Structure 1
Amino acid sequence: MNPPPLVAWLLLLVVMIPASNLAAQDQSPDDTAIAEEAFVYGFPIVMNYGTLYEYFIDTTSDQYKCSFNEIYNTARVYTPADTSVVTPNSDTPYSFFCADLRAEPIVFAVPKIEKERYFSVQLVDLYTFNFGYVGSRATGNDGGKYMIAGPNWTGEKPAGIDKVFHCETDFATAIIRTQLFDPADIENVKQVQKGYQILPLSTYLGEKAPAVPPAIKWPKIDKELAAKDPFAYLAFLLNLCPPVGPAESEIAMRARFAKIGIETGKSFPCCELTTEQETAIKKGAEQGFAAIKKNTDSLGDTINGWHIFDVENNREACDGNWLLRASIAMAGIYANDSAEATYPITRTDANGQPLDGSQQKYTITFPAGQLPPVNAFWSVTMYNGKTQLLIKNPINRYLINSPMLPNMKKNADGSLTIYIQKDSPGADKEANWLPAPDGPIYLAMRLYWPKTDPPSILPPGHGTWQPPGVVRAD
């Protein structure tokens, strides 16, 4: 549903625990249950690490952005060449930073931005919780200075800082989206991006910097390594997620994990396992993945073929409900909370039939006066149904969005039809053409800053506005 893991991380995690012929021997129900719990709990954490490793650690990766405590600006929108994140957003050029909070907090600044341009700064911890927002909806477009503090910081808010965001983990990622109105607008976006700044608190205060924290030996992660040893990555990452503050509730759970060899900061397994335990752990991991998949498929409501569910991915909403957190990551890691953006998604037409660009042509028609009711903007993005990545096409168009409306053609009755097919619908309709793959289709709407008053999108699936279904063109 949103950015930044490795090529098709969702597909990686489908095969993360390969099918096995379990031995017909006694298995410990306790060990199986613990392994299932650990897999569900760790699924988004390991998935997140795959992205962080490529973006901020592995300088040899073609997805590498920058070092910790630096800002990287992507002065373009995402294309099929961007494969590190499934269902990438191609509406808004991205800026990123990953803050190392072990030694001291960091301060980041956003510039004053014209009222018409939407932007957001989504703050995500290692658990994948959204722990804070800055932007058009959350704080306005007048600019400001904000601070991110790690789990062990206990100071007071410094003068000149508008707000302090407390992160539960030693590292925090910021995903910054800046609206692009059209291709000619990219130079304006670049100027906005120059105003995003980050610096250590000591530099901001003009004080001596604290001691540099010890270097971390980051374990390499790729598809094969993650499939071979997912619990080893979880054990490593727990060391960066101290069970303090709200996370104290996890102490007993982490003690259970140690019973099957998953101990914070130690290699997995941290103790010798019997053959029966190894079998039980493999079974539990398989059950964990199946539970996440089943729960993801059942979340939310289906309206006119579109699947919509309410995302509130923070400690308050997910504390103890690790299956919900894992399901959000499976559906689309780094998904915004619904108040920031709502994401109807579909693989089927309005009648429940699978979408396939090799077999059919489709349309989506918004009746007159019934475009998505948002405070910012909306889009419909096309993905390859197998990989959930953007697709190459003759006109390099990956989405239809509201800034494109002036160049699109409306029907005689004022309605707007989007043509979804792999080949051009003809010169007279090409302005409304969303190119499809020659195969399975995955569609995602993005409704930024959705309205709560009628006609409303919120609460997701229960607002007064409903997305029109995808229908066969014939």
Structure 2
Amino acid sequence: MKLLKLAAIPLLVTFMMREAQPCMAQEKLSVEEIKAITEEAFIYSFPMVMGYGILYEYAVDVKSGQYKAAFNQIYNTARVYTPEDTAVVTPNSDTPYSFVWADLRTEPLVLSVPEVQKDRYYSVMLADMYTCNYGYIGSRATGNGAGTYMISGPGWNGPTPEGIKKVFQCETEFSLVLYRTQLFGPDDINNVKQIQAGYKVQTLSSYLNKSTPAAAPEIQWPAIDKKLAEADPFAYLNFILQFCPTTGTAEVERPLRAKFAKIGIEAGKPFPLARLTAEQKEALKAGVLSGLAKIKQKVSTLGKDENGWRVGGAQGDRAFYNADWTLRAAAAMAGIYGNDEVEALYPLLSTDSEGNKPDCSSKRYTLTFSKGQLPPTNAFWSVTMYDGKTQLLIANPLNRYLINTPMLPDLKRNADGSLTIYIQKDSPGKDKESNWIPAPDGPIYVAMRLYWPKEEALNGSWKPPALVPTK
């Protein structure tokens, strides 16, 4: 989704934790060992706790202001995202979203998609509670024809029902199903609504017209508060891990969980914070801070530096991450629930052409694509502006947050056929406003998106142009 960042991290414990004898005291761990395990656990937990925050606001807390729908029910956002959407950072404003938070504890979920016109891009991304992308439906992955698919939880091993094209097995008991449907422009929204109306979601028992299985146990969901200044994510992690069994492909988690148990991280148990000594608490704090520093450092080096943009894939499945928890955490910090590289490539602006962090409080910039050098895609591309402090969309007089492929007919080309985009806080003049992306009065965060990128974008033959300061 390129969907939380620094202002929203870490998510904090807001529920009372029962007292427990700390495992680290039993193990007689040294301060250095506590710090090292804490650092690794914090990095590991970062995207999972962030993802839980989104789950809680979207599917649990009906008063969150970001609530979408109950579990196993689809919610269609029949508009693109605006500055009012604050639950996730770097949301795209190209494709209206549809969401399902799937509860797979008792039975699989069946997803049906309609036929979508050939020139319209759409995708359905399946992400587990580890924030790994474990499957895709849509233009690139399965085509634009109608079809019915199924996602199952880690404990399901039944036969594939008739009419199901493919079964996707999720390693965790809850899953995000994230739909993106291309919008060609404001006048196209009714067509998008019609497509969204064709996205059907039902439980397997409903699909088979059979009796519903016994309901899973009710869950006491711990509340999320993202405004507190100090963090302790491990109580959240213990809560989340009870829905992440170490079975099947997740068996590789077992040695890591055993290591984390030494400091009190165990699925479904309270984290023993109240019984720790002052020295142990200091070691925990130091581990969290060093872990956060490593994640931030990783974000700054994601992908390759190409003309001041960081270009490269940071999201994928378990095999893609290959136990690189820092990469997984950095991907979440840069923009949680992003696509695999083959689905969407995300060049992220790091510096301008002079090597400086871009800031529109005192500078204006241009981004010029040479003739024939627009981002190469099988679907479409966009350049989106965010506040550099929050990574949220920016309110502006034009209500314009990006420039993308569908807008090309309305953009002005230079005499040599190149295309210049103006990035600044004030209007560049009425004659140039068609090519203007309004910026905040301060640091900026710019994300380029190439949906279904062509090979020249993936292999580095094409490179994004540099952001150039102007007088």
TM-score range, shorter chain: over 0.9
Q: Which residue of 1 aligns with 2:9?
A: 13
Structure 1 position 282 matched with structure 2 position 279: no
1:381 CA drift (Å): 0.3
TM-score (norm 2): 0.94
Gaps of 5+ in 1: 18-25
* Corresponding letter in the other structure for 1:140: G
2:360 counterpart of 1:357: yes
Equivalents in 2 of 1:284, 1:208: separation in Å?
50
2: CA distance between counterparts of 1:15 and 1:240? 18
Give a deviation string over 1:274-312, Cα, whole Å, max 9, x none: 333222222211111111112221222111111112234
Partner of 1:21: none
Residue in structure 2 matching 1:28, options 22, 27, 31: 31
1:292-331 alignment, distance < 5 Å: 292-331=295-334
SS in 1 for 2:450: strand
1:193 equivalenced with 2:201 (yes/no): no
Structure 2 CA distance for partners of 1:118 and 1:105, relative to 1, 3 Å: same
Equivalence for 2:469: 472
Q: Which range is displaced more, 316-325 or 183-192?
A: 316-325
Aligned Cα RMSD in Å?
1.7
The question of 1:338 aligning with 2:341 is answered yes
User: Is the contact made by 2:12 and 2:225 (CA closer than 8 Å) also made in structure 1?
Assistant: no
Indicate conservation of the 8 Å contact 1:263/1:270, yes or no: no
After superposition, the C-alpha distances for 1:180-235 in whole angstroms (9 at most, x for unaligned) are 00000000000000000100001111111111111010000111569443110000
**C-alpha displacement of 1:267:** 1.0
1:117 partnered with 2:114: no
Report SS of the residue matched to 2:149. strand
Q: Secondary structure at the match of 1:394?
A: coil
Q: Which residue of 2 aligns with 1:457?
A: 457
Q: Does 2:75 match 1:79? A: no
Distance 2:12 2:153 in 1: 31
Q: Distance in 1 between matches of 2:63 and 2:342?
A: 37
Post-superposition offset of 1:16: 6.9
The structural deviation recorded for 1:273 is 2.9
Partners of 1:10 and 1:86 within 8 A in 2: no
Closer, same or farther in 2 for the Cα pair 1:15/1:211, shift >3 Å?
Answer: closer
Alpha-carbon distance change, 15 to 48 in structure 1, aligned in 2, over 3 angstroms: closer
Give, in whole Å, the separation in 2 of the partners of 1:272 and 1:436: 48
Cα distance in 1, alignment partners of residues 31 and 364 from structure 2? 52
| 4+ residue segments displaced more than 6 Å | 14-17
Deviations 1:309-361, CA, capped at 9 Å, x for gaps: 22342111223221111111111111111000001111421221121112111
Taking the aligned partners of 1:400 and 1:409, their CA distance within structure 2 comes to: 12
Once the 2 structures are TM-superposed, how far is the Cα of residue 27 of structure 1 from its aligned partner?
4.9
Aligned 8 A contact 1:347 1:441 in 2: no
Matches within 5 A, 1:155-194: 155-194=158-197
Whole-angstrom CA distance in 2 between matches of 1:134 and 1:296: 28
What is the identity, as a one-letter code, of the residue corresponding to 1:253? L
Equivalent residues in 2 for 1:69-468, closer than 5 Å: 69-224=72-227, 227-269=230-272, 272-452=275-455, 456-459=456-459, 463-468=460-465
Asked if 1 retains the 8 angstrom alpha-carbon contact of 2:148 and 2:163, the reply is yes
For residues 278 and 457 of structure 1, the distance between their equivalents in structure 2, rounded to whole angstroms, comes to 47
- TM-fit CA distance, 1:403: 0.5
Q: How far, CA to CA, are the matches of 2:153 and 2:366 in structure 1?
A: 48
Deviations 1:420-469 (A, max 9, x none): 111111121111111111111111100000001xxx1003xxx2111111
Deviations, residues 16-38 of structure 1 (Å, cap 9, x unaligned): 79xxxxxxxx9522211111111
TM-score of the superposed pair, with normalisation by structure 1? 0.93
2:377 partner SS: coil
The aligned amino acid for 1:119 is: Y
Task: Please state whether the residue corresponding to 1:428 is helix, strand or coil.
Answer: helix
Q: Against the structure 1 CA distance between its residues 218 and 382, is the aligned structure 2 distance closer, same or farther, given a 3 Å change threshold?
A: same
Query: Given that residues 27 and 280 in structure 1 are in contact (C-alpha distance below 8 angstroms), is that contact kept between their aligned partners in structure 2?
Result: no
2:2 equivalent in structure 1:
2
Moved more, 329-338 or 296-305: 296-305
Q: CA, structure 1 residues 226+189, in 2 after alignment: closer, same or farther (shift >3 Å)?
A: farther
Q: 1: CA distance between counterparts of 2:421 and 2:199? A: 36
CA contact (8 A) 1:308 1:343 kept: yes
Identity among equivalent positions (%) equals 60
Change (3 A) 1:217 1:226: farther
Contact 1:45/1:126, CA 8 A, preserved across alignment: yes
| Distance in structure 1 (CA, Å) of the matches to 2:298 and 2:446 | 20
Q: CA deviation at 1:270?
A: 7.8
What code does the residue aligned with 2:44 have?
Y
Report Cα offsets for 1:352-392 as digits up to 9, x if no partner. Answer: 11211121111111111111110000000011111111111
Range with bigger deviation, 330-339 or 257-266: 257-266
Aligned length, in residue pairs: 456
Equivalent-residue separation in structure 1 for 2:65 and 2:92 (angstroms): 18
Any conservation in 1 of the 2:43–2:292 contact (CA below 8 Å)? yes
* 1:376 to 1:263, Cα distance in 2 relative to 1, 3 A: same
Distance change >3 Å, CA 156–CA 226, structure 1 → 2: farther
C-alpha distance in 2 between matches for 1:228 and 1:28? 19
Contact 2:154 2:172 in 1 (8 A): yes
Other structure's SS at 2:368 match: strand
